[in-house]
Amino acid sequence: MHHKVLIPLYDAEVAPRFDLASEAVIVTLDQQRKKLEEKLVVLPQVSAEKLCHLILTEGVTTVICCGIEEEYYQYLVWKRIEVFDSIIGMWEEALKRYANAKLSPGDIVDHTTDQGGNQ
Protein backbone atom coordinates (compact mmCIF):
# COMPACT_ATOMS: atom_id res chain seq x y z
CA MET A 1 0.00 0.00 0.00
CA HIS A 2 1.31 3.43 -0.89
CA HIS A 3 1.21 6.33 1.55
CA LYS A 4 0.36 9.82 0.40
CA VAL A 5 1.57 12.58 2.66
CA LEU A 6 0.39 16.18 2.35
CA ILE A 7 2.32 19.03 3.94
CA PRO A 8 1.00 22.62 3.74
CA LEU A 9 3.93 24.88 2.85
CA TYR A 10 5.32 28.30 3.56
CA ASP A 11 8.49 28.44 1.42
CA ALA A 12 10.62 25.46 2.53
CA GLU A 13 8.87 25.11 5.88
CA VAL A 14 5.70 23.56 7.20
CA ALA A 15 3.10 26.35 6.98
CA PRO A 16 2.47 27.90 10.40
CA ARG A 17 -1.30 27.73 9.84
CA PHE A 18 -3.23 25.03 7.98
CA ASP A 19 -6.03 27.41 7.02
CA LEU A 20 -3.69 30.03 5.50
CA ALA A 21 -1.53 27.76 3.33
CA SER A 22 -1.59 28.68 -0.35
CA GLU A 23 0.47 25.69 -1.47
CA ALA A 24 1.17 22.15 -0.38
CA VAL A 25 3.39 19.28 -1.33
CA ILE A 26 1.99 15.79 -1.81
CA VAL A 27 4.55 13.01 -1.56
CA THR A 28 3.80 9.39 -2.44
CA LEU A 29 5.79 6.81 -0.50
CA ASP A 30 6.03 3.07 -1.13
CA GLN A 31 5.53 0.35 1.52
CA GLN A 32 9.06 0.88 2.80
CA ARG A 33 8.36 4.62 2.93
CA LYS A 34 10.73 5.47 0.09
CA LYS A 35 9.74 8.47 -2.03
CA LEU A 36 8.08 7.54 -5.31
CA GLU A 37 6.61 10.86 -6.39
CA GLU A 38 6.46 14.46 -5.25
CA LYS A 39 4.15 17.16 -6.53
CA LEU A 40 3.57 20.75 -5.56
CA VAL A 41 -0.01 21.98 -5.53
CA VAL A 42 -0.82 25.70 -5.59
CA LEU A 43 -4.28 26.48 -4.28
CA PRO A 44 -6.29 29.16 -6.09
CA GLN A 45 -7.17 30.71 -2.71
CA VAL A 46 -6.37 29.97 0.91
CA SER A 47 -9.08 27.87 2.49
CA ALA A 48 -9.05 25.06 5.04
CA GLU A 49 -12.14 23.58 3.37
CA LYS A 50 -10.44 23.45 -0.04
CA LEU A 51 -7.33 21.94 1.52
CA CYS A 52 -9.46 19.25 3.20
CA HIS A 53 -11.18 18.59 -0.14
CA LEU A 54 -7.77 18.24 -1.83
CA ILE A 55 -6.67 15.80 0.88
CA LEU A 56 -9.69 13.59 0.28
CA THR A 57 -9.69 13.74 -3.53
CA GLU A 58 -5.94 12.99 -3.73
CA GLY A 59 -6.27 9.97 -1.43
CA VAL A 60 -3.90 11.43 1.16
CA THR A 61 -3.34 9.13 4.16
CA THR A 62 -1.21 11.44 6.32
CA VAL A 63 -1.11 15.19 6.93
CA ILE A 64 1.89 16.88 8.52
CA CYS A 65 1.04 20.41 9.61
CA CYS A 66 1.63 23.06 12.25
CA GLY A 67 -1.38 25.02 13.50
CA ILE A 68 -4.71 23.40 12.64
CA GLU A 69 -8.10 24.30 14.06
CA GLU A 70 -9.71 21.58 16.16
CA GLU A 71 -12.68 21.39 13.75
CA TYR A 72 -10.47 20.45 10.77
CA TYR A 73 -8.28 18.16 12.86
CA GLN A 74 -11.34 16.23 14.05
CA TYR A 75 -12.78 16.09 10.53
CA LEU A 76 -9.58 14.63 9.07
CA VAL A 77 -9.25 12.08 11.88
CA TRP A 78 -12.90 11.15 11.37
CA LYS A 79 -12.07 10.54 7.69
CA ARG A 80 -9.25 8.23 8.89
CA ILE A 81 -6.45 10.60 7.93
CA GLU A 82 -3.40 10.43 10.20
CA VAL A 83 -2.57 13.97 11.38
CA PHE A 84 0.77 15.07 12.82
CA ASP A 85 0.11 18.58 14.12
CA SER A 86 2.22 21.29 15.77
CA ILE A 87 5.19 20.40 13.55
CA ILE A 88 7.58 23.34 13.18
CA GLY A 89 10.44 23.57 10.71
CA MET A 90 11.62 22.35 7.35
CA TRP A 91 9.10 20.20 5.49
CA GLU A 92 11.72 17.86 4.00
CA GLU A 93 13.09 17.07 7.45
CA ALA A 94 9.57 16.44 8.75
CA LEU A 95 8.99 14.05 5.84
CA LYS A 96 12.30 12.25 6.55
CA ARG A 97 11.32 11.77 10.17
CA TYR A 98 7.90 10.49 9.13
CA ALA A 99 9.50 8.04 6.68
CA ASN A 100 11.79 6.79 9.47
CA ALA A 101 8.87 6.53 11.95
CA LYS A 102 10.50 9.20 14.15
CA LEU A 103 7.97 12.02 13.79
CA SER A 104 5.73 12.98 16.70
CA PRO A 105 3.18 15.77 17.06
CA GLY A 106 4.87 18.87 18.46
CA ASP A 107 8.30 18.16 16.94
CA ILE A 108 10.59 20.98 15.90
CA VAL A 109 12.49 19.82 12.83
CA ASP A 110 15.38 21.30 10.92
CA HIS A 111 18.57 20.06 9.34
CA THR A 112 20.46 20.19 12.66
CA THR A 113 18.02 18.00 14.62
CA ASP A 114 18.13 14.46 13.32
CA GLN A 115 16.76 12.72 16.42
CA GLY A 116 13.02 12.19 16.95
CA GLY A 117 11.15 14.07 19.63
CA ASN A 118 10.97 17.66 20.72
CA GLN A 119 14.14 19.75 20.58
Segments making up each domain of the chain, as ranges? 3-109
Helices (H), ranges, the chain = 48-57, 70-78, 91-99
User: Is it true that domain 3-109 has CATH number 3.40.1160.10?
Assistant: no
H helices of 19-90, where?
48-57, 70-78
pLDDT tens digits along 8-42: 999 999 999 999 999 999 999 999 999 999 999 99
- The tens place of each residue's pLDDT in the chain, 119 residues long, gives 789 999 999 999 999 999 999 999 999 999 999 999 999 999 999 999 999 999 999 999 999 999 999 999 999 999 999 999 999 999 999 999 999 999 999 999 986 544 444 44
Paired with 29 in beta bridges are: 3, 35
In DSSP terms, 9 is beta-bridged to 14, 23
